[in-house]
A and B are shown apart, each in its own frame.
Chain A
């Protein structure tokens, strides 16, 4: 058993952190305030090989392991959780292709992402179906030589900028999970309507929109797997994506911890730095403990993926623990900063706003607990 990172992983982490500190942190407040999409920063990160970490080497990717991916993602989230949501959404959308696509589909859809800078969106959630993903209504009908797609999707990250959508729909709602299919859709297809950008509490740099599909014709060869295999692909995607999303929370937590430590040493009250006060020490100790525990869970969940071991239970632990901890840690960071922490002049209030979303998306903390209980009690 070895908890240390490999030399390669240390270098990945160092590059991603350097990028986060030089290219993301100096701009994160501005992008947050204006709700600007970080396309230039996104592209720069892509040029450095920090994006689309899920693409296998045989399709032009770097051949990173899941563990590599979470290490990079944590560092990028350290720079800005909101921007990292935009970055990560590419992996979320490409993972179903990696998992469920044929060799031909992988060549066709994945390789272009390694040759030029491209953005992707994962379209699962609907206005009426969030946690109950199995109940999706978006319909996929056989139109002879193509599929016909109709329906409405909600909270679609990167929707306004995407070159590729992966859309989940059903051939028959009565079939429930068994009717679910995944289609690769060109966002420029006729009948695709992209809604206006949502005005969100946090992750304001990421572009979130509703998308409507009206009689959209999708080539037959764009279905991942066979009809009805969509649910399996979606669930398997989650096993890969949950550690990734959890690593984003971890990056935000680490940033909140680092900021709290430096501020606590700098800020004087009652004639001493507040770091000398036990009340502050306890909060910082709690933060450190949670960051370390979350990292162990995230790394283990990713490592299991790499070993080909089913990680559903651990991935849910990682996602729920890392995001719940991030909420607590960033809230405490604001507390340590006091009045300044509540002000937008300092970076911690943004961390607290950003933390909240990670408890919600990619399976709420409550859904994670249902998954855990199901796994534990089966």
Chain B
């Protein structure tokens, strides 16, 4: 059984984001990179499947810069068997990334049974790659999954939709699944795991190797800027119980007359 997990490396959630002077992207020199948090659920799910199918092989894939290979090393330290890195700029669009992942999977020569990814990467927040990859590979897909069962070649998943309702899907492998928080609790990479990961194989290829060129870009970003600061708000003191009703009445009135939101 061949399981592929697509991971992305994203700035740590606490990182301060600063647009470059020319607005073409963000400053990446001082960023601390981590594995995209949603991808951890995908890695964990792959490892859970491997636990009950010891013959399964878990390959972790990533398209991105090689400055730091944190995400792949973490996935292997958690227990993935090998890694495949496609060297690319950090601001590639979803279509190019999906195409590169498709090329990477094909290049491994392994027929995928299960392809897992996080539901979204917290850098560009596009929520596209898993579905685009599925379409490119002509495979069924379900995104935002919070439940997973595998019996033979049948996968049953729960997809979370608006309002917290769950859609239950059933399909045969191979398929592409995009994982959400709540699916499982990702394990830590243990210290012995981290040491073992150093000996695991990591293939490295260029975009051209996996058949992707500049012509594959579909979405262009420019003019990166910080969101505008709001003008100072109005603050009312309602610590005095006698004034509370008057203050609240005034604010509620302003919500209708000034802010026009109610």
**A residues touching B (Cβ–Cβ < 8 Å)?**
8, 11-12, 15, 18-19, 47-50, 62
Tell me the complex Cα distance, A49–B191, Å. Answer: 5
Kindly list chain A residues whose C-beta atoms are within 8 Å of the C-beta of B189. 15
Kindly list chain B residues whose C-beta atoms are within 8 Å of the C-beta of A49. 190-192
How many B residues are at the interface, by size bracket?
A: under 10
Contact A8 B188, beta carbon cutoff 8 Å: no
Indicate whether B194 reaches chain A with its CB closer than 8 angstroms.
yes
Contact B191 A18, beta carbon cutoff 8 Å: no
Contact B194 A15, beta carbon cutoff 8 Å: yes
Indicate whether B254 reaches chain A with its CB closer than 8 angstroms.
no
Contact B194 A47, beta carbon cutoff 8 Å: no
Contact B188 A15, beta carbon cutoff 8 Å: yes
Q: List 17 A-B contacts (CB under 8 A).
A: A8-B194, A11-B73, A11-B194, A12-B191, A15-B188, A15-B189, A15-B190, A19-B188, A47-B190, A48-B190, A48-B191, A49-B190, A49-B191, A50-B191, A62-B191, A62-B192, A62-B195
How many residue pairs at the A-B interface have CB separations less than 8 Å? 25
In the A-B complex, the 9 residue pairs with the smallest Cβ-Cβ separation, listed nearest first, are A49-B191, A48-B190, A11-B194, A49-B190, A49-B192, A48-B188, A62-B191, A12-B191, A48-B191
| Nearest A-chain residue to B192, judged by Cβ | A49
B67 → chain A, closest Cβ, in Å? 14
Kindly list chain A residues whose C-beta atoms are within 8 Å of the C-beta of B195. 8, 62
Tell me the complex Cα distance, A212–B44, Å. Answer: 48
Mark contacts of B188-223 with chain A using CB atoms, 8 A cut-off: 1 yes-contact digit, 0 otherwise: 111110110000000000000000000000000000
Kindly list chain A residues whose C-beta atoms are within 8 Å of the C-beta of B188. 15, 18-19, 48
B28 → chain A, closest Cβ, in Å? 19
B93 → chain A, closest Cβ, in Å? 30
Q: Report which residue of B73, B188, B194, B195 has the largest number of chain A beta carbons within 10 angstroms of its beta carbon.
A: B188
| Nearest B-chain residue to A262, judged by Cβ | B14
In addition to A11-B73, A15-B188, 18 A-B residue pairs with Cβ atoms within 8 Å of each other are A8-B195, A11-B77, A11-B194, A12-B191, A12-B194, A15-B190, A15-B191, A15-B194, A19-B188, A47-B190, A48-B188, A48-B190, A48-B191, A49-B190, A49-B192, A50-B191, A62-B192, A62-B195
| Nearest B-chain residue to A72, judged by Cβ | B191
Tell me the complex Cα distance, A15–B190, Å. Answer: 8
Tell me the complex Cα distance, A11–B197, Å. Answer: 11
Residues of chain B in range 155-197 having any CB-CB distance to chain A below 8 Å = 188-192, 194-195
Kindly list chain A residues whose C-beta atoms are within 8 Å of the C-beta of B194. 8, 11-12, 15
Kindly list chain B residues whose C-beta atoms are within 8 Å of the C-beta of A18. 188
B188 → chain A, closest Cβ, in Å? 5
Residues of chain B in range 106-144 having any CB-CB distance to chain A below 8 Å = none
Kindly list chain B residues whose C-beta atoms are within 8 Å of the C-beta of A15. 188-191, 194
A55 → chain B, closest Cβ, in Å? 13
Kindly list chain A residues whose C-beta atoms are within 8 Å of the C-beta of B77. 11
Tell me the complex Cα distance, A19–B194, Å. Answer: 14
Tell me the complex Cα distance, A189–B194, Å. Answer: 39
B220 → chain A, closest Cβ, in Å? 35
Kindly list chain A residues whose C-beta atoms are within 8 Å of the C-beta of B191. 12, 15, 48-50, 62
Tell me the complex Cα distance, A192–B201, Å. Answer: 53
Kindly list chain B residues whose C-beta atoms are within 8 Å of the C-beta of A12. 191, 194
Kindly list chain B residues whose C-beta atoms are within 8 Å of the C-beta of A50. 191
| Nearest A-chain residue to B188, judged by Cβ | A48
Kindly list chain B residues whose C-beta atoms are within 8 Å of the C-beta of A47. 190
Kindly list chain A residues whose C-beta atoms are within 8 Å of the C-beta of B190. 15, 47-49
Tell me the complex Cα distance, A50–B190, Å. Answer: 8
Tell me the complex Cα distance, A8–B193, Å. Answer: 12
Tell me the complex Cα distance, A19–B195, Å. Answer: 17
| Nearest B-chain residue to A23, judged by Cβ | B188
B174 → chain A, closest Cβ, in Å? 33
B243 → chain A, closest Cβ, in Å? 23
